[in-house]
Amino acid sequence: MWSLFYTPLSAKDVLSEIQERGFIRLATNAEFEPFEYIDGSEIAGIDIDIAREIAKRMGVGLEITDVKFDSLPAELVGGNCDFVLAGMNYSEEKDRNVDFSQPYFDAKQVVIVRKDNNSINSENDLHGKRIGVHLGTTGDLYCTEKFKDSEVLRLPNGTIAMLELLSGRADAVVIDNLPAKNLVAKNAGAVRILDESLFEEHYRAVVAEGSDLVYYLDSILSELKSDGTIDRITDKYASESPEFGSGFLNLIYRSLIYKDRYKSIFEGLYNTLRITCGAMVLGAIIGSIIAFIKLSKSKRLYMKVLDVLASIYLTVIRGTPLVVQLFVIYYLIFVSTSLSKVAVATIAFGINSGAYLGVVLQSGILSVDSGQYEAARSLGLSSKDAMIKVVFPQALKNIIATLCNEFINLIKETSVAGFIGIMDLSRAGDIIRTQTLDPFVPLLTVALIYLIIVAIVSCIVDIFERRLRRSDMR
Amino acid sequence: MICVKDLHKKFKTDSGVINVLNGITTNIKKGEKIAIIGPSGSGKSTFLRCLNRLEEPTSGEIIFDGKALNDSARSVNEIRRHIGMVFQHFNLFPHLTVRQNITLAPVTLKIKSQEEADDEAETLLERVGLLGKADVYPIKLSGGQKQRVAIVRALAMNPELMLFDEPTSALDPEMIGEVLAVMRDLAQGGMTMVVVTHEMSFAREVATRVLFMEGGKIVADEPPEDLFNCSQNSRVQEFLSKIL
């Protein structure tokens, strides 16, 4: 059900690589219940159980990566995973870049409407309406193509699409039938599925183009189909639909406590703090180097070259979106690395932050009267000592509020890390939201945590600033 | 102590090149107290700043104790230890207390331990009557007090030569006296001093030699009694007639 636009690497002997490694790497997007979703703090779902069966029958372990669905093709093409199970369909366009297995599951695209809506009863009624779809799915492609006179709302996942439907901002939701069943079960009484489905599709496993893994997957998948394993797994997930009472306390219980969902929040908080602090340190180092280069009056050629490079760095980093920088660093620069995702994200955010900190530091140093540096030098201090002991402490006092701002921005910007599948604080909230269909408790919880972090940081900076300003008291 | 040979300094600005120093040659001997006077823009301060290389000369030579001041950072830092400088705007470090201002350089350069430097700072502060201000920040000091601390800060490096760049020009009139008193005291103690100043009475009384500069050149170089009383130089006469 995904569309892919990436160019493949050359073919290789993936199978023996997996055997040698001892585990097979699956990439998926855990926002597609019941095929793949976060259950508590674990990824679960039909595709995940199928992947486990595949790994078992191959006699190897299974490693699962959860990324934003936009990133799945890049994971395959970049060689970060061996195969993708994410409810994908065959299409000619996609076939140029990746290879597909035989189908392992047959699905239909269905239409969900509110119960009180009697104006939509067939596909034709969708013309001129507001249709919620899951961005990048076949449902999205189909509706965008077919209903040009309608407003197609391309949303990040099916749950959000449902929220749009429930709140009346969308008239219908087009989505795969099995997730539709779960979504409707969670909102029993409010919505219904139209009898007429839009079209049928066949989910297939996907591998990098030319990978020999595809033949192996074909044989295992047909085995799983013929011995009833896939049916068993599907039945298991279709029947899971716990009942909750209504009311605010129940909502909190469902959002935070049931199935240990708070654990996602803690994991997200831990990652957010790790990335932010690491990036701030790295950014400070890079920023200092940049400020040093920009402020140097040296006429030597290599300093002039560095100055040009620093200017290019500042322009590129400050002139492009952070999420693009993260993608480039993760998928192009650190494509084959043993570094963890969190480490790569920290590097990416650090590089980004370095540009902003560099400019702040530069202006802070320029704000200190040149007589201070001269006085220090006239006493025989080296330029390094003069900067560290005389200029920098005064510059710091002038820029500390801006630095605090930068840190606060960084904390919140780390939410972009979710795009490469890191469970940060925002993504933890997103995932709980897709599970419970209630946007408010997880969102407000996450917001409250951000607020508390920022309040603590501001408080610490305040104390520090007051100490720096001691010398200003008359 | 210092030999200056044919010193030139050009500044590049947007409107072209300005020649600030046009060939300065002079010798400064140990124990001399030299006052540099002259109209503004004549290059007095630039000349003074060339002496400890805060300003990079365009050409010419400066030899300090037989060693040429060349470009290498180490030699410049080394020579600056022996040349104290006092600025028009004091340039005390506002983020440090008076005591820390004074001890920063000797301790950082590992010339003294912190305790030695503290003792020395107290002795020097007592000499200028500011012992009670050792632990306050510069913002609490008056202009005259700041300049006295700045002089102490330079003295804490035990310099052989002290440069003063218009040390009283930024002061309120009632505070000029206290700073000049400290300088007078210093002169009596035998310190070699070069003072750019507009205080003619100080120049007349304390200096052993007065350099009159104009247009980036030393126009007159005479003992103060000659220069102030019976200079034959028409430029000097004109300048003195304007300010006295």
> CA B36, CA B197: separation in Å to the nearest integer?
6
Is the CB of B200 inside 8 Å of chain A's CB atoms?
A: no
Query: CB-based contact (8 Å) between B159 and chain A?
Result: no
The pLDDT assigned to A341 comes to: 85
Query: Is the same domain home to A217 and A155?
Result: no
Domain boundary among A146, A178, A200: A200
Picking from A2-16, A38-52, A294-308, which range would have the lowest pLDDT averaged per residue? Answer: A2-16
Query: Could B157 and A474 be called an inter-chain contact, meaning their C-beta atoms sit closer than 8 Å?
Result: no
Residue-wise pLDDT for A16-36, tens only, equals: 888 889 999 999 988 887 888
Give yes or no: residues A222 and A315 share one domain. no
Report how far Cα A96 is from the mean position of its chain's Cα atoms.
26
B2 forms beta bridges with: B28, B64
Q: The domain spanning residue A428 has which CATH number?
A: 1.10.3720.10
CB contact under 8 A, B157 and A382: no
Per-residue pLDDT at A4 exceeds 60: no
- Dist CA A322 CA B153 (whole Å): 49
CB contact set of A430 (below 8 Å; sequence gap of 6+):
A31, A156, A418, A442
> Are A65 and A194 in the same domain?
no
Chain A residue numbers with beta carbons less than 8 Å from the beta carbon of B54 are: 374, 377-378
> How far apart (Å, rounded) are the C-alpha atoms in residues B117 and B108?
11
Q: Do B109 and A371 touch (CB under 8 A)?
A: no
Q: Average pLDDT in the A359-374 region?
A: 94
Question: Of B157, B51, B136, B164, nearest to A381 (Cα)?
Answer: B157
Of A61, A80, A82, A81, nearest to A216 by C-alpha is A82
**What single-letter DSSP state applies at residue B169?**
T
A74 and A125 inside one domain: no
Angle at which helix A341-366 crosses helix A392-413, to 10 degrees, equals 140
Reported as type and span, the H/E element at residue A417 is: none
State residue A282's pLDDT score.
96
Choose from A10-14, B76-80, B185-189 the range with maximum mean pLDDT. B185-189
Q: What does pLDDT average to over chain A? A: 86
Are A92 and A181 in a shared domain?
no
Q: Which domain covers residue A162, as residue numbers?
A: 105-200
Residues B91, A393: C-beta atoms closer than 8 Å: no
User: Do B109 and A381 count as a contact with CB atoms less than 8 A apart?
Assistant: yes
Shortest CB distance from A378 goes to which of B54, B97, B108? B54
Give the closest residue to A418 by CA, choosing from A156, A52, A238. Answer: A156
Tokens of A12: 């290789």
Structure-block tokens of residue A273: 């703090």
**CA nearest to B214, candidates B242, B193, B236:** B236
Q: From CA B224, how far away is CA A450, in angstroms rounded?
A: 73
Residue pointed to by tokens 């002061």 = B171
- Boundary (domain end) residue, out of A184, A215, A244: A244
- pLDDT classification of A332: cutoffs 50, 70, 90: confident
CB contacts of B139 in chain A (<8 Å) are 471-474
> Bridge partners of B135?
none
Contact B154 A379 (CB under 8 A): yes
**Cβ proximity of A49 and A233 under 8 Å:** yes
More confident residue, A203 or A1: A203
Mutation target vs B (from A300, A374, A379, A400; most B CBs, 10 A cutoff): A379
Q: Are strands A23-28 and A61-66 parallel, antiparallel or unpaired?
A: parallel
> How high is the pLDDT of residue B70?
65
- Counts of helices then strands in chain A (DSSP H, E): 19, 12
Residues A303 and A448 in one domain: yes
Say if the Cβ atoms of B77 and A471 lie within 8 Å.
Answer: no
Residue A79, amino acid: G
User: Tokens at residue A7, please?
Assistant: 């160019």
Find the radius of gyration of the CA atoms of chain B: 18
B103, B118 in Cβ contact below 8 A? Answer: yes
Looking at A276-280, B162-166, B178-182, B239-243, which range is the least confident one? B239-243
Looking at A148, A175, A200, the residue that finishes a domain is A200
B103 to chain A: closest CA residue: A379
Contact residues, chain A, for B78 at CB < 8 Å: 380
- B63 touches A at CB < 8 Å: no
- Chain B residues touching residue A470 (CB < 8 angstroms): 137
| pLDDT of res. A139 | 87
Whole-angstrom distance, CA of residue A319 vs CA of residue A313: 10
pLDDT band at B156 (very low <50, low <70, confident <90, very high): very high
Give yes or no for a contact between B57 and B9, defined as CB atoms under 8 angstroms apart.
Answer: yes
Q: Do A137 and A64 share a structural domain?
A: no
Domain-located, residue A165 = yes
Give yes or no: residues A410 and A346 share one domain: yes
Interchain CB contact of A326 with B (< 8 Å): no
Residue type, A349: F
- Please name the residues between 108 and 147 in chain B that touch chain A, using a CB distance below 8 Å: 108-109, 137-140
Q: Are B75 and B82 in contact (CB under 8 A)?
A: no
B81/A375 Cβ within 8 A: no
Query: From the CA of B101, how many Å to the nearest CA of chain A?
Result: 10
Show the tokens assigned to B1: 């102590």
| Residue A115 domain flag | yes
**Token pair in block for residue A146:** 């077919």
Which ranges of chain B would DSSP assign to H, the alpha helix?
Answer: 44-51, 73-80, 98-108, 114-127, 143-155, 173-188, 200-206, 224-230, 234-243
Contacts of A331 (CB under 8 A, 6+ apart): A71, A74, A78, A80
A23 in Cβ contact with A63 (< 8 Å): yes
Residue A2 falls within a domain, yes or no? no
Q: Which of A237-251, B11-25, B180-194 has the lowest mean pLDDT?
A: A237-251
In this predicted structure, what is the pLDDT of residue A419?
81
Statement: residue A95 has pLDDT above 80: no
What pLDDT digit, counting tens, does each position of B104-123 carry? 999 999 999 999 999 999 99
Rounded Cα gap, residues A363 and A373, in angstroms: 15
- The 3-class SS string of A166-188 reads HCCCCCEEEEEHHHHHHHHHHCC
Same structural domain, A177 and A56: no
Cα separation, A430 vs A447, in Å, equals 12
Q: Does any CB of chain B come closer than 8 Å to the CB of residue A388?
A: no
- Asked whether the predicted pLDDT for residue A195 surpasses 90, the reply is no
CB contact under 8 A, B154 and A394: no
A38 DSSP β-pair partners: A43
* Averaged pLDDT for residues A330-340: 81
Task: Say if A376 falls within a structural domain.
Answer: yes
- The residues facing B217 across adjacent strands are B214
Integer Cα distance of B3 and B68 in angstroms? 9
Percent of chain B at pLDDT > 70 equals 98
Residue B167 has which token pair?
């040390």
By three-state DSSP, how is residue B219 classified? strand
A114 three-class SS: strand
Per-residue pLDDT for A392 more than 70? yes
pLDDT at A233 exceeding the cut of 90:
no
CA distance B124 to chain A (A): 16
Question: Does the beta carbon of A336 lie under 8 angstroms from any beta carbon of chain B?
Answer: no
The length of chain B is 244
How far away is chain B from the Cα of A382, in angstroms, using its nearest Cα? 6
- The one-letter amino acid code at A465 reads E
- What domain count does chain A have? 3
* Shared domain check, A419 and A309: yes
CA distances from A321 to A315, A347, A348, A360, B142 (A): 12, 16, 12, 19, 52
What's the CA dihedral at A293, A298, A302, A306 to 10 degrees? 20
- What CATH number has the domain bearing residue A133? 3.40.190.10
- Structure confidence at residue A241 (pLDDT): 53
Cβ-nearest to A380 among B80, B93, B139: B80
What are the pLDDT digits (tens) for A109-165?
899 999 988 888 888 899 999 999 988 788 888 888 889 899 999 888 888 888 889
Which is more confidently placed, B173 or A187? Answer: B173
**Looking at the domain assignment, is residue A279 inside a domain?**
yes
Based on the domain organization, do A148 and A289 belong to the same domain?
A: no
**Residue A472: predicted pLDDT:** 81
**pLDDT value at position B154?**
95
Quickly tell me which residue has 């030139």 as its tokens: B8
State which of A253-257, B150-154, B228-232 shows the largest mean pLDDT.
B150-154
Over residues A300-306, mean pLDDT: 90
The minimum CA-CA distance between B157 and chain A, rounded to whole Å, is: 7
Does B77 contact A473 at a Cβ distance shorter than 8 Å? no
Q: In this structure, is residue A89 part of a structural domain?
A: yes
Beta-carbon separation of B137 and A470 below 8 A: yes
Q: Which residues of A142-153 are buried (b: 16+ CB within 10 A; e: fewer)?
A: bbeebbeebebb
Residue A473 contacts B where some CB pair is shorter than 8 Å: yes
- Does B104 lie at the interface with A, CB-CB under 8 angstroms? yes
d(CA B35, CA B169): 14
Answer yes or no: do A330 and A400 share one domain. yes
Report yes or no for ipTM above 0.95: no
Top-confidence residue, B164 or B41: B164
Give the mutation candidate from B74, B95, B161, B162 for the A interface (greatest A CB count, under 10 A): B95
A2: confidence class by pLDDT, cuts 50, 70, 90: very low
pLDDT reported for residue A3: 42
Task: State residue B90's pLDDT score.
Answer: 94
Please give the backbone phi and psi of residue A366, each rounded to the nearest 5 degrees, phi first.
-65, -20
Token readout for A99 is 């290879």
Nearest to B73 among A375, A382, A470 (CB): A382
Please judge whether A378 and B89 are an interchain contact, meaning their C-beta atoms are less than 8 angstroms apart. no
Torsions phi, psi for B19 (to 5 deg): -90, 110
Q: Is the pLDDT of residue A94 over 70?
A: no
Cβ(B4)–Cβ(B27) under 8 Å? Answer: yes
Answer whether A109's CB lies under 8 Å from A177's CB.
yes
Q: Up-side HSE of residue B84: CA atoms within 13 Å toward CB?
A: 27
Burial (0-12, 13-18, 19+ Cβ within 10 Å), B114: exposed
Q: What is the pLDDT of residues A213-231, one digit of tens each?
A: 888 899 999 999 899 888 8
Confidence at residue A1, expressed as pLDDT on a 0 to 100 scale: 44
Contacts of A471 in chain B (CB under 8 A): 94-97, 137-139
Q: What is the pLDDT of residue A244?
A: 59
Q: Is a pLDDT exceeding 60 seen at residue A248? A: yes
Please tell me if residue A380 touches chain B, with a CB cutoff of 8 Å.
yes
Residue A239 has pLDDT above 60, yes or no: no
Residues of A in contact with B96 (CB under 8 A): 471
Tell me the C-alpha to C-alpha distance, in Å, between residue A13 and each of A19, A208, A211, A311: 11, 11, 7, 44
At A394-418, the pLDDT tens digits run: 999 899 999 999 999 999 899 898 8
Domain contains A1:
no
Report whether pLDDT(A243) > 60. no
* SS3 label, residue A472: helix
- Is A252 domain-assigned? no
